[in-house]
Amino acid sequence: MSTRRRGRTQTPPLPSFLPVTQRNAAAASRGTDRQRRPVTGRAGPALRGRRSVAAERAKASRPSVTGARAPPTRPPVHWRAATPDELGPRPFKFSSTAPSPSPSPSLPSHPPCLSPPPLRSLPPQIRASEDPGRRIPPPMAVNGSANGSSGANGSAGPTRTVLVTGGAGYIGSHAVLQLLAAGFRAVVVDSLENSSELAVRRVAALAGDHARNLSFHKVDIRDEDALDAVFASTRFDAVIHFAGLKAVGESVQKPLFYYDHNIAGTINLLKVMAAHECKKLVFSSSAAVYGSPKNSPCTEEFPLLPHNPYGRTKLMAEEICRDIYRSDSEWRIILLRYFNPVGAHPSGYLGEDPRGVPNNLMPYVQQVAVGRRPSVTIFGNNYATKDGTGVRDYIHVLDLAEGHIAALRKLFDSSSNIGCEPYNLGTGKGTSVLEIVNAFEKASGKKIPLVIGQRRPGDAEILFAGTGKAERELNWKAKYGITEMCRDQWNWASKNPYGYGSPDSTKQNGSNSH
């Protein structure tokens, strides 16, 4: 909108939060506009109904209908100014003296880049304000030319490039950080429908110098054209597929919504992978495919009898992967069946940020501890277990992330004869609901009020993983115990009581069922 002053037309400056490409296009358009204005300062009719120079150039650069698909012309990362809601009540800050939990003697050490970096090592944009939530880092890009990466990590040769769908989510963000630490290049695609871009920015800050090997595209994998453009710009050696919805209760209420996201999205991904000759996949499945087995430990050979639409979407996706392998033996696919992921990054800067009412025990307990909810409801205290409450297998998210690295190495191992194989990821140990609550109370110093409810139909008394196959074939084993899980979960919750700052639209007097 222009203003008149002393016979001259003046234009307000462009907003600073616009992406660079938009600012350049707008500036070019304004320059052409000014050249064609009459001397009187009035906007003449010459411009009406005509395209700007930037628009004409964009039109000229478009490929013809019969031509090959052109790579995306926009940069992969569109940073913008963060809103107060995104930052939450406690803005995220890095400092050289940032508090971190003291590790227990049994806690395994982390790669150096997984610790909060000192202030001097952060990019200038972050160092200037000490807050990557307020000053956004510049766009991150994958180094190296498109369509050209091969070789094995940890040995001579180019670094492998991995596409991570859903890499801004809870498990995905931790896996991306582990990928960078292991020497991979990571390209994240995420629709941000149930995740936060702030998670990717924090991964970049935590990764330090490794952030140069990270890029991000805001893409819904159900959009085949957009996903194809990402593949056209970079040759991927493998894909880790996290993207999807995961709330069991919501899947019962909105089954078509879940089939559309989890099944249609997976089909699109596999179609684009096949078109670009990328045939190595690690799929994020779930122990929900087993339903409620009567015996434990639950091994990969147990019957697959999911009880809800969410579990059925995971099983259907597994079957699609198996069918693809049967039709083309060049595919190498690993299906990772998670049990109950908990915990957070030890820095307290990455963690689970559920939208709405949490569906799982640990994030619900965490919200009670920070005062967002009054109590936790335990459904059933008369099971045939040591304290009467249900027993489940809880696994630290860092162990889970490391499981994906182990799966990738298996896919890249030319000596392995893997086709399409499932693996359980858990600790192989059962922990009761009351044991989790007690451990969290010790970690947080907070009392967690409990309400005892009736049993829920279909809930298994005891369910924990049989992990022997993963230990033997992936050379992987969970390292963290409940103490470390609760310690890291509380460290995340105390620093981020409202997660990544997503609006809390749920009632504060809700309760959860476990």
- Could you give the residue numbers annotated as active site? 310
Phi/psi for 408 (5° steps) reads -60, -45
Query: What burial letters (b/e) apply to 70-101, b meaning 16+ CB within 10 Å?
Result: eeeeeebbbbeebeeebbbeebbbbeeebeeb
How far apart CA 143 and CA 156 sit, in angstroms, is 17
Query: What burial letters (b/e) apply to 472-482, b meaning 16+ CB within 10 Å?
Result: ebbebebebbb
How far apart CA 97 and CA 173 sit, in angstroms, is 24
106, amino acid identity = S
Residues β-bridged to residue 161:
185
How far apart CA 220 and CA 265 sit, in angstroms, is 8
How far apart CA 411 and CA 396 sit, in angstroms, is 23
The two beta strands, 8-10 and 391-392, are unpaired
Q: CB neighbours of 405 closer than 8 A, spacing ≥ 6?
A: 175, 178, 179, 182
What secondary structure letter does DSSP report for 167?
T
- CA nearest neighbour of 302 among 454, 141, 465, 69: 465
Residue whose structure tokens are 């931790």: 174
